[in-house]
Amino acid sequence: MTATSKWLTTAGMYALAVVIAGPLYADVSIDDIKNDATTVDDVVTNGLGTQGQRYSPLKQVNKENIANLVPAWTLSLGGEKQRGQETQPLVKDGIIYITGSYSRVWAVDSHTGREIWEYDAKLPEGILPCCDVVNRGAALLGDKVFFGTLDAKLIALDAKTGKVVWKKEIDDFKAGFAYTAAPLIIDTKAFGPIIVTGVSGGEFGIVGRVEARRPDNGELVWSRPTIEGHVGMLGGKPSTMTGTLNETWPGDMWKTGGGSTWLGGTYDADTHLIFFGTGNPAPWNSHMRPGDNKWTSSRIAIDPETGEIKWGYQATPNDGWDYDGVNEVVSFDLNGRKAAATADRNGFFYVLDRTNGKFISGTPFVEKITWAKGIKPDGRPDYDPAFRPGDPKAAADGKKGKSVYVTPGFLGAKNWMPMAYNQDTKLFYVPSNEWGMDLWNEPVTYKKGAAFLGAGFSMHPTFEDHIGALKAIDPATGKIVWQYKNKAPLWGGVLTTASGLVFFGTPEGDLKALDATTGEELWHFNTGSGVVGSPITWEQDGEQYIAVVSGWGGAVPLWGGEIAKSIERLNQGGMLWTFKLPKKTAAN
């Protein structure tokens, strides 16, 4: 069988012919990607659509029959390489594609659960991932599967065989660079489809950036640094500087400024803009870098045709708490206005005008926030100086600044785990955590490949009965409509459907379904290991399937301190689970 995919390039139209014997494997067109939010027989993007709403129009599994949902099959990821499994599956033409810990990829028969192939990146010694050996997903286009590795490479695999088609180095892993996010594929007028990626490594003093590459050969199209003073690239030549040198960064601090783009981005076709969040400034010790430190802890909008930043919104200027700003930007319409929402690690839920980045609202979504008294009408935080850790230079020995207890903790009111937006309820479903930290600053000097923090910390729960809380938020008012509390922290993504359901997983191992309107628990199933991945749903042979990868890990057991000790008995694992209704039930 022959499948042909076509797209525009700078040279004009050209065709990529893919000849495949037997069934089609990831024969994904750019139209498949554009329409992913509305089609039901596949999931070909991270976020169930480039806008990242994680909403499915499927209704077969609903409030009335969800109690009958049962496993269809499972697949073990095998071996000793377990740890955190934060992937979101993709599915096309009867094949599921997942990534796993230690930079691995699988193709799985979606009807039987049998492995078709596995690719293992065979990582070198000396990789420097800050927060577990996770991977959050792949991307599909044509006959290729694209994913990034912990040693900062972007790899294209043959979707039928799992063999490497091309491999490109993003940057030097020995300097702290890594890549853990799912790539984003979008269409452009100038270049045709491009693969958009970010970088990890902010804790090592790297400089964040967003890049675009050609899917056929991995050639770099453009690059945009996220820190002012650094120059971008377009068409193999230097382009423009990000911001103005030393406008908000003192001296040479911008050279090792952080701002990593480790979560990946979303894309809005209405505005033709790519949205990325940017990470914390480096080092954590904010007294070493007075000023706003643009564009760290921010949301930026990038023109995919040029790589230029069209607008930026900084949630936490001069971030001194490692609040980052990488959380996903989800496009939606608010009373006829083109809006975007983002739930920040700093504890505030923001609504912005996605056409220009103007601030619409900012409201707290976790309790007992102390670092700021609120968000001012201009969108800047109203800092409480009492909760910024002290300058080590003011200490008698110059080694440790005044310690403060601040909420939320550095792992964030919401970390990497993606929220969902239901087009029917008009609510966002935000996986959040209620915790704080003791935090103090220390002197630090940049050294390539070494942690560049200048801070110490200890995490603590805010409440005795729960840490995690899935919260339903009305973006029009910022009010929390309902919340579902969980003893352990929530660390996985959310899925919502047109049948009024919300799916999410817990570290205790449960995949759960709630009523999207009330928050009532309607169903749960224990997968045997903590769920820190993101669930999906699709239709196959007239039946609705739900899939999720379970496998406990991520940053919490590594950096959670007192909290990590309380959940240390949670089992690691690595399983792809799929669920459906028994045919008799589905037919009723």
Q: Are 582 and 544 in contact (CB under 8 A)?
A: no
Read off the pLDDT of residues 334-386 as tens digits, 9 standing for 90 and up: 999 999 999 999 999 999 999 999 999 999 999 999 999 999 999 999 999 99
The total of other beta-carbon atoms located within 10 Å of residue 57's CB is 16
Q: Name the band, by pLDDT with cuts 50, 70 and 90, for residue 401.
A: very high
pTM of the entire predicted model: 0.94
**Residues labelled catalytic:** 322
The total of other beta-carbon atoms located within 10 Å of residue 107's CB is 22
Q: Are 309 and 300 in contact (CB under 8 A)?
A: yes
**Candidates 1.10.3480.10, 2.140.10.10, 3.40.980.10, 3.30.413.10; CATH matching 2-587:** 2.140.10.10
Q: Are 267 and 215 in contact (CB under 8 A)?
A: no
What span, in angstroms and rounded, lies between the C-alpha atoms of 57 and 47? 14
CB contact set of 40 (below 8 Å; sequence gap of 6+): 56, 57, 58, 538, 539
Read off the pLDDT of residues 60-71 as tens digits, 9 standing for 90 and up: 999 999 999 999
Read off the pLDDT of residues 295-347 as tens digits, 9 standing for 90 and up: 999 999 999 999 999 999 999 999 999 999 999 999 999 999 999 999 999 99
Query: What is the per-residue pLDDT for 403?
Result: 97
- For residue 274, the cross-strand partners are 267, 302
Read off the pLDDT of residues 23-72 as tens digits, 9 standing for 90 and up: 445 699 999 999 999 999 999 999 999 999 999 999 999 999 999 999 99
The pLDDT of residue 21 is above 70: no
Would you call the peptide bond into 295 cis, given omega within 30 degrees of 0 as the criterion? Answer: yes
Three-state DSSP class for residue 16: strand
Determine phi and psi for 255, rounding to 5 degrees: -70, -25
The total of other beta-carbon atoms located within 10 Å of residue 6's CB is 13
The structure tokens listed for 115 are 């492995």
The pLDDT of residue 2 is above 80: no
> What letter does residue 26 receive in the DSSP assignment?
S
Read off the pLDDT of residues 118-139 as tens digits, 9 standing for 90 and up: 999 999 998 988 889 999 999 9
Dihedral sign, CA of 17, 139, 233, 129? negative
Give the mean model confidence (pLDDT) for residues 213-220: 98
The pLDDT of residue 15 is above 60: no
Read off the pLDDT of residues 423-448 as tens digits, 9 standing for 90 and up: 999 999 999 999 999 999 999 999 99
Read off the pLDDT of residues 544-567 as tens digits, 9 standing for 90 and up: 999 999 999 998 888 887 887 777
Phi-psi region at 500: left, alpha or beta (left = phi > 0; alpha = psi -120 to 50): left
> Tokens 């069934």 identify what position?
23
**DSSP string across 200-251:** B-GGGT-B-EEEEE-TTT--EEEEEESSTT-EEEETTEEEEESS-TTSSS-T
Query: What is the per-residue pLDDT for 80?
Result: 73
Q: Name the band, by pLDDT with cuts 50, 70 and 90, for residue 588.
A: low
- For residue 212, the cross-strand partners are 196, 222
Read off the pLDDT of residues 464-510 as tens digits, 9 standing for 90 and up: 999 999 999 999 999 999 999 999 999 999 999 999 999 999 999 99
Residue, of 517 and 82, whose pLDDT is higher = 517
In one letter, which amino acid is 430? V
Three-state DSSP class for residue 536: strand
Query: What is the overall mean pLDDT for the chain?
Result: 93
Query: What is the per-residue pLDDT for 24?
Result: 44
CB contact set of 484 (below 8 Å; sequence gap of 6+): 469, 470, 471, 514, 519, 521
* Burial (0-12, 13-18, 19+ Cβ within 10 Å), 395: middle
Query: What is the per-residue pLDDT for 3?
Result: 34
Q: Which helix (H) or strand (E) holds 32?
A: helix 30-34
Residue, of 62 and 588, whose pLDDT is higher = 62
Query: What is the per-residue pLDDT for 26?
Result: 62
